[in-house]
Amino acid sequence: MTALPWPPAWRRPSWGGWRVSVLCGVLLVPVSAATAVAIGQGQPGRAVLVGLGALVLGAVGVAARPRRRAWVVEQSAVDVDGTVEPGVRFAVRPSSVLTGMALAAGGVALLAAAVAMVVIVASRGEARFLVGAVVVGVPGALLLVGGIAALTASREGNAVDLTANRVLVDTGHGRTAVPWTEVDDVTAALAAVPVGRSAAIQNLIVIAVAPSVDRAERLVIACDRLVADPALVYHGLRHYLLNPDDRGELSSAAAVRRLEAGRVVSADDPPDH
């Protein structure tokens, strides 16, 4: 099957995959050795800090490894308010406990360093440390929040389900069901999370929905959590949004055949989404 068009808004990572995993593995050796040396020399504080660094390196190495993207989608049956609706499912990988622990530990370490800098400013009046506290503290807070979110997320039933009547999204923090008639648009987006002087890039699928008191106005799907090729999920969502007459096939194997064949891109679909 021909590869589906990659949305222009998304970035193809120029650095990642096995290169990052290998680099983290190489750096993990001396960092782990430094942890052992600190323990042998009776320096528990230093051992803890260096050990946290080793934990973060290991988590990054594991998270960066390339994953095989699958074209296969599966039929599903979802319970919506007591009614079972047949549909198709794109599986979503559950949040990693190890990654959550690494993010939380890294966030705590950075926040501790930021607090130490603030103490220096308050006790010694050295204002130059205030900028450092902000530079270190903001990424630390983001890492801590991300770690807590990963650790508290559900690890069962994570998926994006499409039925003839609605879209259902569950990425670990509760399922949201939106009727197709209330979906306004499906777009590709790019999120840049500042980390020091650089930024972590994340490709996203954004489902804009009609305002409601019991849900957000946007459902956001992180592409690196998808088991299937994110381009397939994106174009599949857009196809059934723009072609309501085809939604009936979501109750049968016809939708699976269409998605597996990649017949979800039409000539009138705007290329800038």
pLDDT digits (tens, 9 = 90+) for 188-201: 998 865 544 445 67
Sign of CA dihedral 59, 70, 157, 169: positive
Return the percentage of the chain with pLDDT > 70, whole number: 73
Query: Do 83 and 102 fall into the same domain?
Result: no
Query: Do 224 and 166 fall into the same domain?
Result: yes
Give residue for tokens 């923090």: 173
For residue 2, tell me if it sits in a domain.
no
Cβ neighbors of 49 (< 8 A, separation 6 or more) are 109
Query: Do 173 and 75 fall into the same domain?
Result: yes
86 or 149: which carries more pLDDT confidence?
86
Query: Do 265 and 196 fall into the same domain?
Result: yes
Band the pLDDT of 186: cuts 50, 70, 90: very high
Query: Do 239 and 181 fall into the same domain?
Result: yes
Average pLDDT over residues 68-84: 77
Query: Do 265 and 164 fall into the same domain?
Result: yes
Q: Encode 22-72 in three state secondary structure.
A: HHHHHHHHHHHHHHHHHHHCCCHHHHHHHHHHHHHHHHHHHHHCCCCCECC
76 or 71: which carries more pLDDT confidence?
76
Q: What is the DSSP string of 191-259?
A: EEEEETTEEEEEEEEEEEE--BTTB-SEEEEEGGGBSB-HHHHHHHHHHHHH-GGGGGGGGSHHHHHHH
**Domains: count for the chain:** 3
pLDDT digits (tens, 9 = 90+) for 220-245: 888 888 888 899 999 999 999 999 99
Check: pTM over 0.75? Answer yes or no: no
Query: Do 83 and 113 fall into the same domain?
Result: no
Q: Give the highest mean pLDDT range of 207-211, 239-243, 259-263.
A: 239-243
